Amino acid sequence: MVTNIAMDRPDLRLRDTGPVAVDVRGLTKRYGAMAAVKDVHFSVGQGEVFAFLGPNGAGKSTTIKMLCTLAHPTSGQATVAGFDVVSRAKAVRRHIGLVFQEQTLDDQLTAEENLRFHAVLYGVPHAQIDPRIARVLDLVALTDRRKDLVSTYSGGMARRLEIARGMLHTPKVLFLDEPTVGLDPQTRALMWEDVMRLRDEEGVTIFLTTHYMDEAEYADRIAIIDYGSIIALDTPDALKASVGADTVDLETADDETALAALKRDGYTVKRSEDGLTVFVADEEAAVGPIVTAVGVPVRTVRAHRPTLDDVFLHFTGREIREQHGEALPMFARAHGARRS
Amino acid sequence: MTTAASASPTAQVTVTDTRISDEIRVVGMVWERELIRYVRTRTRIVSGLVQPVLFLFVLGYGMSGLVGTTGGFNFREFVYPGVVAMSVVMTAMFSAMSIVWDREFGFLREMLVAPVSRTSLVLGKTAGGATVAAAQGTIMLVLAPLVGIHLTPLLVAEVISLELLMAVAMTTFGVFVASRIQKMESFQVVMQMLLMPMLFLSGALFPLNGLPGWLTVITRLNPLTYAVAPLRQVVFSAQNMSAAARARFPTKVTLFGYTLPMGLELAIVVVFALVFFVLAFRGLSRTE
Ligand SMILES: Nc1ncnc2c1ncn2[C@@H]1O[C@H](COP(=O)(O)OP(=O)(O)OP(=O)(O)O)[C@@H](O)[C@H]1O
Ligand SMILES: [Mg+2]
């Protein structure tokens, strides 16, 4: 088993400062002899975007079901919005929004009717229902389709309507179980804009599960879960840093001279199969100075920063994609789109 | 993306503790959804009419020749209240069984995770199913003149009341059955194996007297029997029937030689409805 830096830093796993939205201690769920979730500990701060990343069958949905009071924990405790998920189940339900892995809309009703139904079910005061519906439809940019039957919606639109519905009663925590599965890259990006806007404008805590690496990048912190256990938990950058430094690979006209020149300038360099590998703190910033420093013509430069794929590989010993028959569409890493 | 936390204080919702008025709103909302779905699926309204109409005219005319006319009264008129009951029962059952669809399409989950009592959900579903079923049965009343049944305002009111009771009973029963069904494919099986026998053995389509012993037992065990008989009794009591016709087409259910009064029949239906309301509630309460 790989040693895990993040696991040695309890300050990152259990937040003792600031308001806590989700607090999980030793949560376990068994189905017969099989433990779907094993002794999981973590906490999520109010307003945080927290991602559960793991392959199929890792226990993501099971964890969400326990936190949403839909499944009884076999052992352990959890509080959501300050309420115990077992003893205060109804209070928990009032304070959470839920978007399940499977769609749960009535497609014979219009978007507005679906939302109205939900508002009444969650006890939204009568006078607030219309303004609130208008507001969440606006947040997910579906205002002009509000009178249409959901059966006429595309998969992406239905998903965004579900997110709007999840936010309708201003929950403290919004649970999203694989919110973007089956959506095309543009729709996924759009949906992420919606989610981030919700977080920024309504201050809701977002707890999501995904098996898309590029999606987990949006999260403030990521828990990697595999076979029911959390095997790493940290910010995306810290997780990536924990598996290794950034590198810049070079091919030059004269590698010997280049190696000497770089070493003289204080770089950590080693020879690789077809050139040189330079270890740096920040690949983007380092490329320019390195190319200048080598003093010989450079044929190719390739900068590399560890990705979450590398992180996953590092902690589990396999690639997340091996878990699926399908190849996952990896859209261009949205560094630019992230809040910095 | 920039933060705009202060920019939008609009429409913040304060969720308070459960109140009775909230639960009543939930019942109303679930009821309203049933109505919206019923009105929106015209094919369902039409198909809900076709089968009873077929029975009324095909069976009614076909059997009239065989049964003949007694004192100006024939089989068509006899079977008419049964066919009205049939359309109520089938609509109520379809409405309740839509829970199976809701489960398949996930909407059931949306309802079950909400912080409301299951009682409100089952009540709303029952009220909704009963309303559309009674509506469907009432649409059948326009056919009355065609088969020679005479309607009075009082009779219409009585019929609608009985339809509502019958519909409530069948909806709770249907919700219970639906709560036990996990797959959509089972729906057809239930309809064929449960609903059709219940309808055929309820006295809706033939008189219950003079049946072989085993059939008598089955019909008396069938709760629908006690819902169909009162409907026929109120319809017939508003008609000009000769004594001969009344003897030829009896409406009373006898049990061990004892003729049940209508009040007792209705009480049986009420008990049936209550029992299945509780069972339906239990069926929907099971969590994972
Ligand atoms: N109701 C259940 N009964 C028995 N086993 C279950 C049940 N629900 C889940 N499991 C098992 O628990 C394990 C975790 O399932 P879970 O649905 O939590 O995975 P997941 O991480 O959400 O996967 P996916 O990415 O496929 O949604 C799986 O092995 C699954 O078969
Ligand atoms: Mg899942």
Band of the pLDDT at A229, cuts 50, 70, 90?
Answer: very high
Q: What is the pLDDT of residue B31?
A: 96
Percent of residues, chain A, with pLDDT higher than 70:
88
Is residue A78 within 8 A of residue A96, CB to CB? The reply is no
Nearest CA in chain B to A107: B105
Read off the pLDDT band of A17 (50, 70, 90). Answer: low
pLDDT over 80 (residue A337) = no
Model pLDDT for residues A260-316, shown as the tens digit of each residue:
888 898 888 888 888 888 888 888 888 888 888 888 888 888 888 887 777 888 887
Q: For residue B19, which residues of chain A lie inside 8 Å, CB to CB?
A: 123
What pairs with residue A35 in β-bridges?
A30
Mean pLDDT of B76-91: 90
Note whether A120 contacts B14, CB cutoff 8 Å: no
Mean pLDDT of B34-47: 85
Q: How many CB atoms lie within 10 A of CB A78?
A: 23
pLDDT at B28 over 90: yes
Is B6 touching A (CB cutoff 8 A)? no
| A165-211 confidence digits (pLDDT tens) | 998 998 999 999 988 877 778 888 888 888 888 888 888 999 999 88
A202 and chain B in contact, CB less than 8 A:
yes
B59 vs B68: CA distance, rounded Å = 13
Q: What is the mean pLDDT of chain A?
A: 83
What's the A61 CA to ligand 2 centre distance in angstroms? 4
Provide, rounded to the nearest whole percent, the portion of chain A with pLDDT above 90: 40
Bridge-based pairing state of the strands A298-304 and A268-272:
unpaired
User: Is the pLDDT score of A116 beyond 50?
Assistant: yes
- C-alpha A7 to ligand 2 mean position (Å): 24
Q: Can you tell me the mean pLDDT for B265-278?
A: 94
CA of A268 vs chain B CAs: smallest distance (Å): 36
Tell me which DSSP letter residue B55 carries.
I
Phi, then psi, of B70 in degrees rounded to 5: -120, 115
Q: Residue A166's closest chain B neighbor by CA?
A: B110
User: Residue B2: its pLDDT value, please?
Assistant: 39
Q: Does B246 touch chain A (CB under 8 A)?
A: no
| pLDDT given for residue B58 in this prediction | 84
Q: Give the per-residue pLDDT at B69.
A: 75
Q: Which residues contact A237 (CB under 8 A, 6 or more apart)?
A: none
CA-nearest residue for atom 25, ligand 1, is A56
CB-CB contact of B269 with B166 (8 Å): yes
pLDDT in tens, B156-210: 999 999 999 999 999 999 999 988 887 878 877 887 788 889 998 998 888 887 7
pLDDT for A230: 93
CB burial readout B60-89, b (16+ within 10 A) else e: beebbeebeebeebbbbbbbbbbbbbbbbb
Interface pTM (ipTM) of the complex?
0.83
Which pTM was predicted? 0.79
pLDDT band at B266 (very low <50, low <70, confident <90, very high): very high
State the count of interchain CB pairs (< 8 A) between A and B. Answer: 114
User: What's the pLDDT band for A319 if we cut at 50, 70, 90?
Assistant: low
Q: Answer whether residue B1 shows pLDDT above 60.
A: no
Average pLDDT over residues A232-261: 86
- Contact A123/B115, CB-based, under 8 Å? yes
Residues in chain A: 340
Q: How far apart are CA B202 and CA B223, in angstroms?
A: 8
CB neighbour burial string for A146-181, b if at least 16 within 10 angstroms, e if fewer: beebbeebeebbbbbbbbbbbbbbbbbbbbbbbbbb
Give the SS3 label for residue A164: helix
Average pLDDT over residues A142-154: 94
Are A80 and A157 spatial neighbours (Cβ–Cβ below 8 Å)? no
- Which residues, other chains included, contact B235 with Cβ-Cβ below 8 Å and sequence gap of 6+? B80, B81, B149, B155, B159
Using CA of residue A211, residue A213, residue A216, residue A221, what is the dihedral sign? positive
What is the DSSP code string of A185-202? Answer: HHHHHHHHHHHHHHHHHH
